[in-house]
Amino acid sequence: MFAAGSGGLLRALCLFAVFDAACLLNSGMLYPQESSSREVKDLSGLWDFRADTSPNRHQGFERSWFKSRLAQTGPVMEMPVPASYNDITQDPALRDFVGWVWYEREVVVPARWVDDKEIRVVLRVGSAHYYSVVWVNGVKVTEHEGGHLPFEAEIGSIIREDPNVPCRITIAVNNTLNLTTLPPGTIQYMKDRTMYPDGFFVQNYQFDFFNYAGIHRPVLLYTTPKAYVDDISVVTDFLDNTGLVQYDISVKNAATSSLKVTLMDKDGYSVASSKEPSGLLKVVDVHLWWPYLMDEKPGYLYSLEVRLVEAYKGSAYDDVYTLPIGIRTVKVTSNKFLINNKPFYFHGVNKHEDSDIRGKGFDWPLIVKDFNLIKWLGANSFRTSHYPYAEEILQMCDRHGIVVIDESPGVGIKDIRSYGNASLAHHLDVMDELVRRDKNHPSVVMWSVANEPASEMSPAENYFKTVIQHTKALDPTRPVTFVTDSNFERDRGAPFVDVICVNSYFSWYHDPGHLEVIPIQLKTQFENWYGKYKKPIIQSEYGADVVPGLHNDPPVMFTEEYQKEVLRNYHRVFDEKRKQYVVGELIWNFADFMTSQGALRVVGNKKGIFTRQRQPKSAAFVLRDRYWRLANGTGRLPPWTKYPCSF
């Protein structure tokens, strides 16, 4: 619990007070799971696809493509879901396409789902970039603004209208960015016909990763009973060896229901139970959730099983949902970040959801490979730069004890026009959705509302004050930050954050090639920020581009030797300041990733310590040696995990 009180009764009262504040959202977004009462049908695979290449990109709406099979409206191609569409074909126009694209798939729905009207059938889209409209059998069921987060709609009544008709799902997705989207962007029309063809325009944005688009995460059909568990919220604490789990359960369509709540340990044994929709569960001899390399048993998870029994027309209907929970606390002081009242030091990475061919498409082999590399490195944390990652990734973090700074898609906010009321309202909606989705993950220890905004502009003060305070009201149990690269004296968002996260690239974007300036400038940076704000600091980005296999001695920019020397110079200062108020270091970046084309990028950003294909550069071994040294310094590792420096 963030800034928890002390003492038995006071601790419990504080837990209830924080919990009440944390339950502001009135609807749930529980991750779909199969149980004795629920089924899930994954619609991953090949969908029909076509891009609307009409001049205004609105032909699909004007001609109502959703009313018939997409193949009847014109040429279609096969498109994998989930995946970005950009790198799937050999068509350069599709790679850089801006506007509406259309997906369609016909699905065979199990007969019992259609026949039993007491079954809710829900269509869920894990994420699509960025604006989506969804139809089922030609009937609009929902629309959603923003990528990276799930949305859903109940469709049972539609598929039951004519049980003999296949369930035809049509999803239109638009990747256009404007001044009020997150991230923001602008469309620039080139009207000089001596230079550009008719109708030529470009999508401009001020963030350094490729604007991949499409349906990026799985599309699912899932069921629940008519009376169902809609949401679960938990806040955890502990006192001595007793764990405290404050819970609240929201149910829908339940008039005469009863609940049974059972908290089970990792072996499936009940450790606490209740029959109330909200309350406090006490766990004797609690196993706390600890980060990777901070304890012999990291990532310990209990299971909160909620069983709803609803009496209806003389019969009883069950709904069963099980939520994994970790019991842990988070607290921030003026110079420390504490997990379970122990100092925690972030030694981790920044990442991207990015890979060859798939773009930002969800891919289990890649995810498992990345986790193996993270643990190989001895990293204990990462930031979801610069948007929320897939729920399945956070679930793995929970299980493996990898700590997460959960970031919104508020990246590239550089234009003063993006600080208006419409932008602010959308940003608040995004934070609502993010907190609602990720609030129960023990791995998530801090919210980040933005990355490198133009926070020196005068409208930024009220904007970020509002977003940060709103996020704290949604979840008082976690600290809130935003990641800055601004001048410490003029940053208008820093007064409102709990932890200072600062990005800097000394000897790269500033004084390029001069490694000798790093210690001076980095020390000055830390002393300036801490001197003004008296808050713990995380070096949230640092690094250098390197072309794999390029060598030079003495080191010069873009060589593997230069990247290693940049890291070593930063590390020496980190070691001095982490004894005072620096609480973390996150390398930029875990792996090379794609960007838009430009004179400063050679097929993407090359600051990864791994290639885009996840092969290590020389700097990966420098970082691995350092991270295992840091982990061994805690003195809480079992002998078999200790990393010998000669390994």
Strands 201-204 and 139-145: unpaired
524-561 burial: b if 16+ Cβ within 10 Å, else e = ebbeebbeebebbbbbbbbbbbbebebeeeebebebbb
Sign of CA dihedral 441, 446, 452, 454: positive
Q: Report in angstroms the alpha-carbon separations of 494 from 68, 79, 501.
A: 52, 44, 9
Tokens 């003389």 belong to 314
Preceding omega of 552 cis (within 30 degrees of 0): no
Residue 211 and residue 205: Cα distance in Å, rounded?
9
DSSP letter for each residue of 195-240: TS-TT-EEEE--SSS----EE-S-EEEEEEESSEEEEEEEEEEEET
Residue 384 and residue 408: Cα distance in Å, rounded?
8
**DSSP-based three-state secondary structure for 67:** helix
Q: Report in angstroms the alpha-carbon separations of 63 from 48, 77, 360, 506.
A: 18, 19, 30, 54
Cβ count within 10 A of residue 190: 12
Cβ count within 10 A of residue 410: 27
Q: Cα Rg for the chain, rounded, in angstroms?
A: 25
Supply the residues annotated as catalytic: 452
**DSSP-based three-state secondary structure for 168:** strand
- At position 136, the amino acid (one-letter code) is V
DSSP state of 644: -
Under 8 Å between Cβ of 508 and 208: no
Four-CA torsion 189, 190, 193, 198, nearest 10 degrees = -40
- Angle, helices 421-438/391-400, rounded to nearest 10 degrees: 50
Residue 493 and residue 80: Cα distance in Å, rounded?
41
Residue 338 and residue 355: Cα distance in Å, rounded?
34
